[in-house]
Structure 1
Protein backbone atom coordinates (compact mmCIF):
# COMPACT_ATOMS: atom_id res chain seq x y z
CA UNK A 1 0.00 0.00 0.00
CA UNK A 2 1.20 3.45 -0.88
CA UNK A 3 0.77 6.74 1.03
CA UNK A 4 2.58 8.98 -1.47
CA UNK A 5 0.07 11.46 -2.87
CA UNK A 6 0.68 13.18 -6.20
CA UNK A 7 0.62 16.96 -6.28
CA UNK A 8 0.91 19.27 -9.26
CA UNK A 9 2.99 22.44 -8.87
CA UNK A 10 1.69 25.24 -11.10
CA UNK A 11 3.89 28.33 -11.53
CA UNK A 12 2.18 31.56 -10.45
CA UNK A 13 2.75 35.15 -11.54
CA UNK A 14 4.79 37.02 -10.50
CA UNK A 15 6.50 34.19 -8.57
CA UNK A 16 5.99 30.99 -6.66
CA UNK A 17 3.84 27.94 -7.16
CA UNK A 18 0.32 26.77 -6.40
CA UNK A 19 0.29 23.16 -5.18
CA UNK A 20 -2.81 21.04 -5.80
CA UNK A 21 -3.20 17.43 -4.67
CA UNK A 22 -4.55 15.33 -7.53
CA UNK A 23 -6.75 13.06 -5.41
CA UNK A 24 -8.23 15.71 -3.10
CA UNK A 25 -9.48 18.93 -4.64
CA UNK A 26 -9.85 20.62 -1.24
CA UNK A 27 -6.19 20.03 -0.27
CA UNK A 28 -3.78 22.63 -1.65
CA UNK A 29 -1.03 25.03 -0.63
CA UNK A 30 1.59 27.30 -2.17
CA UNK A 31 5.20 28.39 -1.86
CA UNK A 32 7.90 30.53 -3.41
CA UNK A 33 10.34 27.70 -4.17
CA UNK A 34 10.02 23.98 -4.95
CA UNK A 35 11.61 23.18 -1.57
CA UNK A 36 9.13 25.41 0.26
CA UNK A 37 6.27 23.83 -1.69
CA UNK A 38 7.42 20.31 -0.79
CA UNK A 39 7.58 21.26 2.90
CA UNK A 40 4.21 23.05 2.85
CA UNK A 41 2.58 20.21 0.90
CA UNK A 42 3.70 17.62 3.47
CA UNK A 43 2.39 19.85 6.27
CA UNK A 44 -1.03 20.43 4.70
CA UNK A 45 -1.37 16.77 3.68
CA UNK A 46 -0.55 15.65 7.23
CA UNK A 47 -3.07 18.08 8.72
CA UNK A 48 -5.86 17.09 6.36
CA UNK A 49 -5.19 13.36 6.83
CA UNK A 50 -5.31 13.84 10.62
CA UNK A 51 -8.73 15.50 10.26
CA UNK A 52 -9.98 12.80 7.91
CA UNK A 53 -8.82 10.02 10.25
CA UNK A 54 -10.24 11.68 13.36
CA UNK A 55 -13.61 12.29 11.69
CA UNK A 56 -13.86 8.87 10.04
CA UNK A 57 -13.90 10.47 6.60
CA UNK A 58 -13.18 8.20 3.65
CA UNK A 59 -9.69 8.89 2.38
CA UNK A 60 -8.99 8.32 -1.30
CA UNK A 61 -6.11 6.08 -2.29
CA UNK A 62 -3.30 7.97 -4.01
CA UNK A 63 -3.14 7.91 -7.78
CA UNK A 64 -0.05 6.43 -9.36
CA UNK A 65 1.98 7.44 -12.41
CA UNK A 66 0.69 11.00 -12.62
CA UNK A 67 2.85 12.75 -15.18
CA UNK A 68 4.70 15.79 -13.85
CA UNK A 69 3.57 15.25 -10.26
CA UNK A 70 5.61 15.44 -7.10
CA UNK A 71 4.77 12.62 -4.68
CA UNK A 72 4.23 13.76 -1.10
CA UNK A 73 3.96 11.65 2.06
CA UNK A 74 2.26 12.70 5.30
CA UNK A 75 4.08 12.32 8.65
CA UNK A 76 4.91 8.75 9.64
CA UNK A 77 2.29 8.61 12.44
CA UNK A 78 -0.38 9.52 9.92
CA UNK A 79 0.98 7.02 7.41
CA UNK A 80 0.81 4.17 9.91
CA UNK A 81 -2.73 5.07 11.02
CA UNK A 82 -3.84 5.32 7.41
CA UNK A 83 -2.28 2.01 6.42
CA UNK A 84 -3.88 0.20 9.36
CA UNK A 85 -7.28 1.70 8.53
CA UNK A 86 -7.03 0.70 4.87
CA UNK A 87 -5.80 -2.80 5.70
CA UNK A 88 -8.53 -3.30 8.32
CA UNK A 89 -11.29 -2.67 5.80
CA UNK A 90 -14.62 -3.81 7.24
CA UNK A 91 -13.13 -5.72 10.17
CA UNK A 92 -14.04 -4.30 13.56
CA UNK A 93 -11.49 -2.92 15.99
CA UNK A 94 -12.61 -5.62 18.42
CA UNK A 95 -11.59 -8.26 15.87
CA UNK A 96 -8.18 -6.62 15.53
CA UNK A 97 -7.78 -6.38 19.32
CA UNK A 98 -8.49 -10.11 19.66
CA UNK A 99 -6.15 -10.96 16.78
CA UNK A 100 -3.25 -9.02 18.31
CA UNK A 101 -4.11 -10.31 21.80
CA UNK A 102 -4.71 -6.84 23.20
CA UNK A 103 -7.46 -4.48 24.32
CA UNK A 104 -9.85 -2.47 22.19
CA UNK A 105 -8.18 0.87 23.17
CA UNK A 106 -4.79 -0.46 22.01
CA UNK A 107 -6.30 -1.47 18.66
CA UNK A 108 -8.03 1.92 18.39
CA UNK A 109 -4.74 3.79 18.94
CA UNK A 110 -3.30 2.05 15.86
CA UNK A 111 -5.59 4.32 13.81
CA UNK A 112 -4.90 7.43 15.89
CA UNK A 113 -2.80 9.87 13.80
CA UNK A 114 -1.31 11.33 17.00
CA UNK A 115 -0.13 7.98 18.42
CA UNK A 116 3.32 6.47 17.87
CA UNK A 117 2.71 2.72 17.57
CA UNK A 118 5.63 0.39 18.20
CA UNK A 119 7.06 -1.74 15.42
CA UNK A 120 5.92 -4.78 17.39
CA UNK A 121 2.32 -3.48 17.46
CA UNK A 122 2.39 -2.69 13.74
CA UNK A 123 3.92 -6.08 12.91
CA UNK A 124 1.27 -7.91 14.93
CA UNK A 125 -1.52 -5.83 13.38
CA UNK A 126 -0.18 -6.45 9.87
CA UNK A 127 -0.03 -10.20 10.50
CA UNK A 128 -3.56 -10.18 11.94
CA UNK A 129 -4.74 -8.42 8.77
CA UNK A 130 -3.00 -10.91 6.51
CA UNK A 131 -0.32 -8.39 5.58
CA UNK A 132 3.42 -8.08 6.01
CA UNK A 133 5.06 -5.03 7.58
CA UNK A 134 7.70 -3.60 5.24
CA UNK A 135 9.86 -0.62 6.20
CA UNK A 136 11.48 1.77 3.78
CA UNK A 137 13.75 4.80 4.05
CA UNK A 138 13.47 7.27 1.20
Structure 2
Protein backbone atom coordinates (compact mmCIF):
# COMPACT_ATOMS: atom_id res chain seq x y z
CA UNK A 1 0.00 0.00 0.00
CA UNK A 2 1.24 3.43 -0.92
CA UNK A 3 0.82 5.99 1.87
CA UNK A 4 0.61 9.19 -0.17
CA UNK A 5 -2.27 11.61 0.14
CA UNK A 6 -3.20 13.92 -2.70
CA UNK A 7 -3.13 17.69 -2.36
CA UNK A 8 -4.01 20.47 -4.75
CA UNK A 9 -2.03 23.69 -5.00
CA UNK A 10 -4.38 26.60 -5.64
CA UNK A 11 -2.65 29.76 -6.97
CA UNK A 12 -3.48 32.86 -4.94
CA UNK A 13 -4.06 36.34 -6.42
CA UNK A 14 -1.43 37.87 -4.13
CA UNK A 15 1.09 35.17 -5.08
CA UNK A 16 1.98 31.77 -3.76
CA UNK A 17 -0.30 28.80 -3.33
CA UNK A 18 -2.92 27.52 -0.91
CA UNK A 19 -2.46 23.77 -0.39
CA UNK A 20 -5.37 21.57 0.62
CA UNK A 21 -5.58 17.80 1.01
CA UNK A 22 -8.40 16.03 -0.77
CA UNK A 23 -8.88 13.40 1.96
CA UNK A 24 -8.80 15.80 4.94
CA UNK A 25 -10.87 18.96 5.40
CA UNK A 26 -8.77 19.96 8.43
CA UNK A 27 -5.35 19.79 6.75
CA UNK A 28 -3.97 22.64 4.69
CA UNK A 29 -0.93 24.88 4.34
CA UNK A 30 0.56 27.38 1.92
CA UNK A 31 3.80 28.32 0.24
CA UNK A 32 5.35 30.85 -2.09
CA UNK A 33 6.75 28.26 -4.53
CA UNK A 34 5.78 24.72 -5.49
CA UNK A 35 8.95 23.43 -3.78
CA UNK A 36 8.01 25.20 -0.54
CA UNK A 37 4.45 23.86 -0.84
CA UNK A 38 5.72 20.28 -1.24
CA UNK A 39 7.88 20.64 1.87
CA UNK A 40 5.16 22.33 3.94
CA UNK A 41 2.55 19.81 2.78
CA UNK A 42 4.69 16.85 3.93
CA UNK A 43 5.26 18.55 7.29
CA UNK A 44 1.60 19.35 7.94
CA UNK A 45 0.48 15.91 6.75
CA UNK A 46 2.97 14.22 9.09
CA UNK A 47 1.81 16.32 12.04
CA UNK A 48 -1.89 15.82 11.40
CA UNK A 49 -1.59 12.06 10.88
CA UNK A 50 0.56 11.76 14.02
CA UNK A 51 -2.11 13.49 16.09
CA UNK A 52 -4.88 11.33 14.64
CA UNK A 53 -2.88 8.16 15.30
CA UNK A 54 -2.09 9.20 18.88
CA UNK A 55 -5.74 10.08 19.55
CA UNK A 56 -7.06 6.86 17.97
CA UNK A 57 -9.03 8.77 15.32
CA UNK A 58 -9.98 6.90 12.16
CA UNK A 59 -7.81 7.77 9.18
CA UNK A 60 -8.99 7.14 5.64
CA UNK A 61 -6.80 5.25 3.21
CA UNK A 62 -5.39 7.56 0.55
CA UNK A 63 -7.92 8.37 -2.15
CA UNK A 64 -7.33 7.99 -5.88
CA UNK A 65 -5.11 10.34 -7.82
CA UNK A 66 -6.89 13.40 -9.16
CA UNK A 67 -5.65 15.24 -12.23
CA UNK A 68 -3.45 18.16 -11.20
CA UNK A 69 -2.92 16.93 -7.64
CA UNK A 70 0.37 16.21 -5.92
CA UNK A 71 1.00 12.94 -4.06
CA UNK A 72 2.40 13.79 -0.61
CA UNK A 73 3.95 11.25 1.77
CA UNK A 74 4.30 11.71 5.54
CA UNK A 75 7.58 10.79 7.23
CA UNK A 76 8.66 7.15 7.49
CA UNK A 77 7.58 6.66 11.13
CA UNK A 78 4.04 7.78 10.35
CA UNK A 79 3.95 5.65 7.20
CA UNK A 80 5.01 2.58 9.20
CA UNK A 81 2.35 3.22 11.87
CA UNK A 82 -0.35 3.69 9.23
CA UNK A 83 0.67 0.59 7.32
CA UNK A 84 0.32 -1.50 10.48
CA UNK A 85 -3.03 0.09 11.33
CA UNK A 86 -4.43 -0.40 7.82
CA UNK A 87 -3.10 -3.97 7.53
CA UNK A 88 -4.50 -4.89 10.96
CA UNK A 89 -7.99 -4.06 9.73
CA UNK A 90 -10.61 -5.43 12.12
CA UNK A 91 -8.09 -7.41 14.17
CA UNK A 92 -7.65 -6.15 17.71
CA UNK A 93 -4.27 -5.20 19.11
CA UNK A 94 -4.62 -8.17 21.44
CA UNK A 95 -4.93 -10.52 18.45
CA UNK A 96 -1.88 -8.91 16.84
CA UNK A 97 0.09 -9.23 20.09
CA UNK A 98 -0.79 -12.92 20.36
CA UNK A 99 0.19 -13.53 16.72
CA UNK A 100 3.53 -11.80 17.36
CA UNK A 101 3.95 -13.59 20.69
CA UNK A 102 4.52 -10.28 22.42
CA UNK A 103 2.78 -7.97 24.87
CA UNK A 104 -0.14 -5.66 24.11
CA UNK A 105 2.02 -2.53 24.74
CA UNK A 106 4.59 -3.83 22.24
CA UNK A 107 1.89 -4.34 19.62
CA UNK A 108 0.45 -0.88 20.37
CA UNK A 109 3.87 0.73 19.76
CA UNK A 110 3.72 -0.48 16.15
CA UNK A 111 0.96 2.11 15.60
CA UNK A 112 2.74 4.86 17.54
CA UNK A 113 4.16 7.51 15.16
CA UNK A 114 6.85 8.41 17.73
CA UNK A 115 8.14 4.82 17.81
CA UNK A 116 10.74 3.59 15.34
CA UNK A 117 10.20 -0.17 14.86
CA UNK A 118 13.00 -2.25 13.39
CA UNK A 119 12.64 -3.78 9.94
CA UNK A 120 12.68 -7.19 11.61
CA UNK A 121 9.70 -6.21 13.77
CA UNK A 122 7.79 -4.74 10.81
CA UNK A 123 8.50 -7.88 8.77
CA UNK A 124 7.20 -10.10 11.60
CA UNK A 125 4.09 -7.92 11.98
CA UNK A 126 3.41 -8.06 8.24
CA UNK A 127 3.73 -11.86 8.23
CA UNK A 128 1.43 -12.14 11.27
CA UNK A 129 -1.22 -10.21 9.34
CA UNK A 130 -0.78 -12.29 6.17
CA UNK A 131 1.15 -9.52 4.41
CA UNK A 132 4.65 -9.04 3.06
CA UNK A 133 6.92 -6.09 3.90
CA UNK A 134 8.18 -4.31 0.75
CA UNK A 135 10.65 -1.41 0.86
CA UNK A 136 11.42 1.24 -1.74
CA UNK A 137 13.55 4.33 -2.18
CA UNK A 138 12.27 7.32 -4.15
The TM tier, using the shorter chain, reads over 0.9
Match of 2:47 in 1: 47
Deviation at 1:65, TM superposition (A): 2.3
Match of 1:76 in 2: 76
Deviation at 1:95, TM superposition (A): 1.2
Q: Map Cα deviations across residues 8-34 of structure 1 (whole Å, 9 max, x no partner).
A: 001012210000001111110000011
Q: TM-score, normalised by structure 1?
A: 0.97
Q: Distance in 2 between matches of 1:3 and 1:20?
A: 17
Q: Structure 1 stretches of 5 or more lacking a match?
A: none
Q: Map Cα deviations across residues 37-57 of structure 1 (whole Å, 9 max, x no partner).
A: 001000000000011101111
- Stretches of 4+ moved more than 4 A in 1? none
RMSD: 0.8
Match of 1:91 in 2: 91
Q: Map Cα deviations across residues 74-127 of structure 1 (whole Å, 9 max, x no partner).
A: 010000001100111111111111111211111110000000000000000000
Q: Distance in 2 between matches of 1:99 and 1:8?
A: 40
Match of 2:14 in 1: 14
Q: Structure 2 stretches of 5 or more lacking a match?
A: none
The number of aligned residues is 138
Match of 1:129 in 2: 129
Q: Distance in 2 between matches of 1:6 and 1:83?
A: 17
1:59 maps onto 2:59 in alignment: yes
Matched residue of 1:13: which SS?
A: coil
